[in-house]
Amino acid sequence: MNLLETIQYPKDLRQLDLEQLPQVCEELRNYIIHELADNPGHFASSLGTVELTVALHYVFDTPDDRIVWDVGHQAYGHKILTGRRQQFHTNRQLGGLKPFPSPEESEYDTCTCGHASNSISVALGMAVAEKMREEARGKEQGARDKEQGARENEETRKVVAVIGDGSLTGGLAFEGLNNASSTPNDMLIILNDNDMSIDRSVGGVGEYLHKLHTSSTYNHLRDKTAKMLYRWGVLNDDRKGRVLRFNNAIKSLLTNQHNMFEGLNIRYFGPEDGHNVVELVKTLRRIKDMKGPKMLHLHTIKGKGFEPAERDATIWHAPGKFDPETGERLRPEQDALLPPRYQDVFGNTLLEMAKSDPRIVGITPAMPSGCGLCIMQKEMPERTFDVGIAEGHAVTFSAGMAKEGMLPFCNIYSSFSQRAYDNIIHDVAISRLHVVFCLDRAGIVGEDGSTHHGAFDLAFLRPIPNLTIASPMDETELRRLMFTAAQDGQGPFVIRYPRGRGVHAQWRCPLETVPVGKGRKLREAGGSAAVLTIGPVGNVAVQAIEESGLDIAHYDMRFLKPLDEDILTEVAQRHSRIITIEDGTIEGGLGSAVLEWMNDHGHTPHIVRLGLPDHFVEHGTPSQLHHLLGLDKDNIIKALKNTTS
Ligand SMILES: Cc1ncc(C[n+]2csc(CCOP(=O)(O)OP(=O)(O)O)c2C)c(N)n1
């Protein structure tokens, strides 16, 4: 009998015998593999958490008990077990299931997920709230007891955070740990340690965790001691919790290091095999009612159960479509014939520039493969720095390097750069340090949805003094802007560009500078209207103007800051209607900048602003979303016609 099909919700899972859980895990794993083969998404991480997911929903009383997933890219099993199996084939598609857990979608999803390292803080907030509720209940109960002599036994809510070793490198996670150690709470943190982020986990935390589970002397002694204590009758299953902690003391002695978590007053258990579902259930049952904050450290394998993914978890983090039987990835595109991806142009150009400028260093918060820095990393490992999931630190670290004469290119995905706002202002912009920020995945990113669209960078960066903000219309412009940004005399320089491919198969143009703060006139016109664009959406505008047959001027502004005032003056003098187009929020971006400038200089053209609306944009393919948002060719043609009629 297929057990997975009998499970709509965790309450159905909880009807099964413990011995049946390995079968549920096997079916769940197969289900994920076959669904993802056809409808791609985050793959390897969810395979690694199958047993954990089943054990958690088996032991805890979800949704009353809270599971807080970090990032949520490992939570496909959780979705499937919590009422969404039938819709799972729509995962990440327009109108379908959301890419990451979201309370809007299910009561089993406890918070918005997508950006890493927040789970401990969220879970701590919930656990502390529960403590406060408990106390309030206790007081009320005390008063009622006096009156009625009765006592109800209300269940307290359990709160569990699930965080990967990669996400544990984020500063926010440490802020949570620090606070957890001093604020009364009964939270359980599960550390899902697979020694991987998207790329290999980096830094001291990874090494520390590694040491925690590789002391073979300790492991040997632990087993021997446990057997001995069982024989003497000192240890039984009930008492095992206490002994687990005793183990930590032995471990500290043997590895000659204190347990960091115990040092923070967080009871530490493990490391345990995260793929033994039966043992996992037993351990969770043992520790779930213990008071105070606690951590269970699990050792798991990213991609578990699918050999190619186990072998290369980085590629299989989000592999696209594949053959579930052979493991062959299906790549319909003929890479060689297509224009390059912006990330590859960034990576190749930086390497090229670094070869002739020894000051150049590349910095990424945990995205070397995603942002293309891996290209330079291969040839110049000593000049590239993967600093972990630590966007704020990446910026401030860059500031320190710039202060000492290096020229950091700090590459951050646009939406993750939101984490580093004050670092950009306080540590870089105020001192006008020469740091080049390359914001990849700017604009609509597609299937990763509202948490990942690079919607806000133009708007939130524009008010910051000393910043230069640019966006290339194509990949040759990206090269030129990178080269320009590296010139002496520049200060903090932001270059934002989108996910995906450019427009030229031949992209290796000579490295030349462009004048800072200067745009380009792409098309002159005698008509009343002018289109002003920034970034690659300009290419869509070129086609739209062409096809509309209208006599409309077009300027690629190229820089949001400083604005090209010569262009704006020319436009104000020649045209009475302006259409601004950007792949960023309408509020605060290019359109706002143009409006403000026109107003401040006494011009009153009719200005129509196209861009992202004042609501969070959901998931879908980039072309579907651009269509819905009015940023595709046909909708731009409509807007041009409406504005000029
Ligand atoms: C703030 C932030 N930075 C970067 C990312 C991109 N990202 C998504 S998953 C991931 C790796 C997470 O590693 P880990 O927590 O160990 O989970 P695993 O995939 O190994 O299970 C990264 C860097 C993100 N989601 N959020």
DSSP at 106 = -
Ligand 1 atom with the shortest distance to the CA of 198: 11
Q: Cα(303)–Cα(301) distance, rounded to whole angstroms? A: 6
Residue 492 structure tokens: 């903090």
CA of 454 to the centre of ligand 1 (A): 17
| pLDDT given for residue 215 in this prediction | 55
- What pLDDT, in 10s, does the model give residues 180-239? 998 999 999 999 999 998 888 888 888 888 777 655 556 566 667 766 777 777 666 556
DSSP at 158 = P
Q: Which residues contact 315 (CB under 8 A, 6 or more apart)?
A: 329
CA of 45 to the centre of ligand 1 (A): 10
Of the candidates 124, 4, 126, which has an alpha carbon nearest to the alpha carbon of residue 53?
A: 4
DSSP at 362 = E
- What pLDDT, in 10s, does the model give residues 283-310? 999 999 999 999 999 999 999 999 999 9
What strands lie across the sheet with 294-299, from one edge to the other? Answer: 66-69, 159-164, 188-193, 294-299, 267-273
Domain spans of the chain, in order of start: 4-199+259-299, 342-496, 520-644
Residue 445 structure tokens: 């990113």
**pTM strictly above 0.85:** yes
CA angle 174, 300, 11 (to 5 degrees): 90
Residue 278 in contact with residue 21, Cβ under 8 Å? yes
| pLDDT given for residue 147 in this prediction | 65
* Helix, coil or strand: residue 529: strand
CA of 302 to the centre of ligand 1 (A): 12
CA of 127 to the centre of ligand 1 (A): 24
Residues within 6 Å of ligand 1 by CB: 45, 48, 70-71, 73-74, 115-116, 164-167, 192, 194, 196-198, 302, 366, 389, 391, 416, 419
β-strand pairing of 384-386 with 360-364 = parallel
| pLDDT given for residue 220 in this prediction | 61
Q: Which class for 262: exposed (0-12), middle (13-18), buried (19 or more C-beta within 10 A)? A: middle
CA angle 233, 236, 242 (to 5 degrees): 110
Which are the catalytic amino acids? 302, 391, 419
> Mean pLDDT across the chain, nearest whole number?
93
| pLDDT given for residue 205 in this prediction | 83
Residue 422 structure tokens: 């004050």
- What pLDDT, in 10s, does the model give residues 240-280? 555 555 666 666 655 556 788 988 999 999 899 999 999 99
Nearest-10 Cα torsion for 475, 480, 483, 489: -140
| pLDDT given for residue 151 in this prediction | 44
Q: Cα(350)–Cα(412) distance, rounded to whole angstroms? A: 14
Question: Which option is the CATH number for 4-199+259-299: 3.20.20.70, 3.40.640.10, 3.40.50.970, 1.20.120.420?
Answer: 3.40.50.970
Residue 481 in contact with residue 431, Cβ under 8 Å? no
Of the candidates 543, 544, 573, 542, which has an alpha carbon nearest to the alpha carbon of residue 555?
A: 542
| pLDDT given for residue 257 in this prediction | 64
Which residue type occupies 167?
S
Mutate to test the pocket of ligand 1, among 100, 389, 410 (most ligand atoms within 8 A of CB): 389
Question: Which option is the CATH number for 520-644: 1.10.3720.10, 3.40.1390.40, 3.40.50.920, 3.20.20.210?
Answer: 3.40.50.920
| pLDDT given for residue 201 in this prediction | 83
| Per-position DSSP letters for 447-509, written without gaps between them | TTGGGT-B-SHHHHHTTSTT-EEE--SSHHHHHHHHHHHTSTT--SEEEE--SSB-S-S----
Ligand 1 atom with the shortest distance to the CA of 389: 3
Where the chain has pLDDT below 50, the residues are 150-152
* Highest CATH level, class, for 342-496: alpha beta
